[in-house]
Amino acid sequence: MGQETWRLCSWNVNGIRSVFQKGFLESLERLSPDVLALQETKAHREQLPKELLEVPGYEVVFNSARKKGYSGTAIYTRKPPLHVRVGIGCPEHDGEGRVLTAEYPGFYLVGVYFPNAQDKLARLDYKIAFNDAVLEYAEGLRKNKAVVVCGDYNVAHKPIDLTHPAANAGNPGYSPQEREWMDKFLGAGYVDTFRMFEPGGGHYTWWSYRARAREKNVGWRIDYFCVGEESRGRVSRAWIEKDIMGSDHCPVVLEFVAEE
């Protein structure tokens, strides 16, 4: 097989109809991904303008939540996938449109919108159950070929991954239980690819809309590209596109050798 390097992108758009009005197609052109995984699309296909469904050069797949205006994922792919799977085969988790998998000759790309634990950790138990189901699902795929798990994980793993760790201890996205699950996930043999290249702080993917947080770079790194340890050598670069606007998140990018 060849050694072609693909550009994979992931972005929580916080409403695809909203980001469309804020230059989404221009951002797509600038990113120029081979595959773009979106989270929190908040729309069904029939609610979208044709400009979002008929993008030249891309095939578009949606996994929308049953509840309109909520959650949802999508994939824009320039490379024709061998197969696309909607959900993970768990009825208790698939109703919110949180997972899309595109299979290519050399790997699976799994785009995931992990749940928010919510105020007072009201949804923490559901989140951990969902996360465990996704890990089990990824492990099943990993038996066949390389797996790339990307998306909004809704957790800052280490103190270095948010501006104010002490003030947020126990809060949604930085609770001990969520951070422990991330330890478990990486301990199962997955690599946080951004940290392969950047050990330092001050690098974030989400900023509150309040108090000019993005302008001040008061943020959290909660969007990731993770690959199986066995695929570490196929990662050539991973970075954050902090200057691409339109959402409270910015895109994250991985350059990955698609076939081996």
Query: What are the domain boundaries of the chain?
Result: 5-257
Contact partners, residue 22, CB within 8 Å, separation at least 6: 245, 246, 247
**Predicted pLDDT of residue 25:** 98
252 phi, psi to nearest 5 deg: -120, 150
Q: What is the pLDDT of residues 178-234, one digit of tens each?
A: 999 999 999 999 999 999 999 999 999 999 999 999 999 999 999 999 999 999 999
Q: Please say if 183 is a catalytic residue.
A: no
Q: How confident is the model at residue 259 (pLDDT cuts 50, 70, 90)?
A: confident
Distance in angstroms (rounded) separating the CA atoms of residues 198 and 178:
22
* Strand ranges for the chain from DSSP E: 5-12, 35-39, 59-63, 73-77, 83-86, 99-104, 107-113, 146-152, 190-192, 206-207, 219-220, 223-228, 235-240, 252-257
Q: What percent of the chain has pLDDT over 70?
A: 99
Class at the top of the CATH hierarchy for domain 5-257: alpha beta
Q: What is the pLDDT of residues 136-187, one digit of tens each?
A: 999 999 999 999 999 999 999 999 999 999 999 999 999 999 999 999 999 9
Model confidence pTM above 0.95? yes
The amino acid present at 112, given as its one-letter code, is: V
Which of the following is catalytic: 152, 161, 192, 223? 152
Query: What Å distances lie between residue 35 and 53, 60, 170, CA to CA?
Result: 15, 10, 35
